[in-house]
Amino acid sequence: MKSRLLATAAILGAIAILAPHPASSQPATGGGPKPGFWQPEAQVDNSRNITLRLLNETGLNLEYGQSGVGLSSLPVGGERNVIVRISNRTGDIANIPINVQGGTTTLQYDYNVDPQKNIVTVRISTSDGRTRQDRAVYIDEKGRVYSF
């Protein structure tokens, strides 16, 4: 009797662990996207090189980086182009952190895409801290652009 009860408990436990559970990044079952960081902000053509045009509208000095490269300065009112070269990697294409020097102010990124030239314009402004707090522009292998 005890072994039957123990076997039943083990089977129910295995079913509970192995049963699929929806993840927060899966499409919503309600038929549409749900707001959140997992939703792409823009879409680019990942078969061509991508230009990220960074516009500093914060009134503060910023710094930005690129995978494998040190940090660069983006002064108040400044503008920089970051070229993202396409490779044959299957992982992420680009991860560009953008921060206030010293990291004391939260930022918000707004996107505009020129599909003809494959340019993503990123307007960087300050956030009030209660809304989005962006720290990096991330482009995945399918050309989806996210803020994290």
Q: Write the pLDDT tens digit of every residue in 112-136.
A: 999 999 999 999 998 876 666 778 8
| Edge-to-edge strands, sheet with 62-66 | 42-43, 144-147, 136-139, 94-100, 62-66, 69-74
Q: In which domain, by residue range, is 131 found?
A: 42-147
pLDDT value of residue 41: 86
pTM above 0.75, yes or no: no
CATH code of 116's domain: 2.60.270.50
Flag whether 37 is in a domain.
no
Flag whether 17 is in a domain.
no
pLDDT value of residue 34: 58
Question: Tens of pLDDT along the chain (148 residues)?
Answer: 667 767 776 676 666 665 555 544 444 455 555 555 668 888 999 888 999 999 999 999 999 987 667 788 999 999 999 988 876 555 667 888 888 877 778 888 899 999 999 999 999 998 876 666 778 888 888 888 988 8
User: Domain total for the chain?
Assistant: 1
CB atoms under 10 Å from CB of 148, counted, come to: 13
Flag whether 123 is in a domain.
yes
Flag whether 85 is in a domain.
yes
Distance of alpha carbon 145 from alpha carbon 148, whole angstroms: 10
Query: Burial of 99 by CB count in 10 Å (0-12 exposed, 13-18 middle, 19+ buried)?
Result: buried
